[in-house]
Amino acid sequence: MLKYLFPLVLSLVSYFLASLAFGVSHSILLAIIVLLVVLWTNEALPLGVVSLLPILLFPSFDILSTNETTANYSNSIIFLFLGGFMIAIATEKTNLHKFVSNKLLTLFPATTRGVIYSLSFTSAFLSSLISNTTTALLLIPVAMFLTNDSKLKFRLVLAIAYGASIGGIITPIGTPPNLILMGFMEQNAMENISFINWMLLTAPLALIMLLIIPFILSLGVKELKFDVDLKNKMILNTEQKRLLYILASLIVLLFANSKIEPFYSGLGMNEKVILLSYGLLMFLPKIGFLTWEDTKKIPYEIIFLFGAGFSIAAAFSQTGLANEIANYLMELTNLPIIFLVLLVATLITFTTEITSNTALISIALPIIYSLSNAANIDPTFILLVATICASYAFMLPIATPPNAIAMSSGAVKVKDMAKFGFIFNIIGILSITFIALIYWQNYL
């Protein structure tokens, strides 16, 4: 019963506190968001159920109409991710991910440090193509069977969890905050970042993190031994080869479609249509791999979560709450750009530790957008900083889905995750700030 009462009490307290600085409607909106965030966090209700509550609550309290709210649950970005889910299910069904993982594990020496690097890079690579949640769920059982040494096991599990978070930022479909940013940019008539341009922006940052974090995780475990053969060979079967060719054609098409100014204008195709088309191709007889029964594996609760996130962002913008909060933060616009970026990166990174990164980025984007306009800063540049930081939180299980999955394995203790995670948070903040100021600011 406490799990149900606590969110309601905290929501009411939030309303009264917010009313000291905001009007009634804005205070109600903040109270509803607190209610949703706490329910997402304490899992008193299923994720999908909580994610559908804005459809009931926003019209009831005259924040958004029913049509305005439900429209966010059919945002075109959702169909891009739906296509990605279908491809991911086909990859799992054919066990192609095991072949890819096995090949990547042989790229590094069969030492403790080599395996930690292998797991991190494998996790990052898969997470850039399928969701970081799926990646962590697929790979962490592999790490659990590599060794019985608890000291090594928790580092292997963290290597996969952190690798999934690091790699999730490489493509727009790797993690939910990326898609929320793309949806927000579309809602505000901003020029979207193409698939390949996104990769060109984020890959250098991911590489820096992938070089540093596995190295730190491997410190102090040089003498530990593994219990399995790390060089087990796998051969592609006919289905896996066919899927590999299809995925290769998808990658080629995405590259050909991407606009890289001023050198190449792209094919002009809609990337959402491309991803959904390839997802539906997975059902085509003699070409695809799926039946309609396989769609039961699509995590619809995540799709509802996207809809809730887009609804929250729309409510912040349309009610004017984002602008009102931005007015309170207006003094920050006088800070030098380096301090402003550092502040945004630090606030988002550490706030994400205690709440859902999806919910947080939905709330933060409208505020940061208003703030960037007031400071005459390119909004795309600063929004990208905030979005990446929402995924680069490594301290607590609640921060990101891979962190939570790592904790659920039983191999990781909160104090160990917090100890490593705090260091990695600082490294992430500094790395993002460096890349943003040196690279993104000039590229965008």
User: C-alpha distances in angstroms, 23 versus 11, 177, 180?
Assistant: 16, 29, 27
Give the up-direction half-sphere exposure of residue 38: CA atoms within 13 A in the CB hemisphere.
Answer: 19
Mean pLDDT, residues 263-280: 82
Share the mean pLDDT of the chain.
Answer: 84
Strand partners, 260: 264
Most distant CA pair in the chain, distance: 65
What is the 8-class DSSP label of residue 170? S
233 pLDDT tier (thresholds 50, 70, 90): low
| Residue 352 DSSP symbol | H
For residues 243, 246, 250, 253, the Cα torsion angle rounded to the nearest 10 degrees is 160
Task: Say which residues have a Cβ less than 8 Å from residue 17's Cβ, sequence separation at least 6.
Answer: none
Cis peptide upstream of residue 401 (ω within 30 degrees of 0): no
pLDDT in tens, 370-408: 888 877 788 888 999 999 999 999 987 777 878 877 877
Between CA 76 and CA 145 the distance in angstroms is 40
Mean pLDDT on 109-118? 84
pLDDT (average), residues 91-95: 84
pLDDT by residue (tens digit) across 185-203?
Answer: 888 878 888 888 899 999 9
How does pLDDT run across 125-178, given as a tens digit for each residue?
Answer: 888 877 787 778 777 777 777 777 778 888 999 999 999 999 999 988 778 888
Provide CB contacts within 8 A for 328, sequence distance 6+.
21
Tokens encoding 133? 């949640």
56 pLDDT tier (thresholds 50, 70, 90) = very high
Looking at the predicted structure, is the pLDDT value of residue 277 above 80? yes
**Domain ranges (residues) in the chain:** 46-442
**Model pTM?**
0.72
**What confidence score (pLDDT) does residue 232 get?**
62
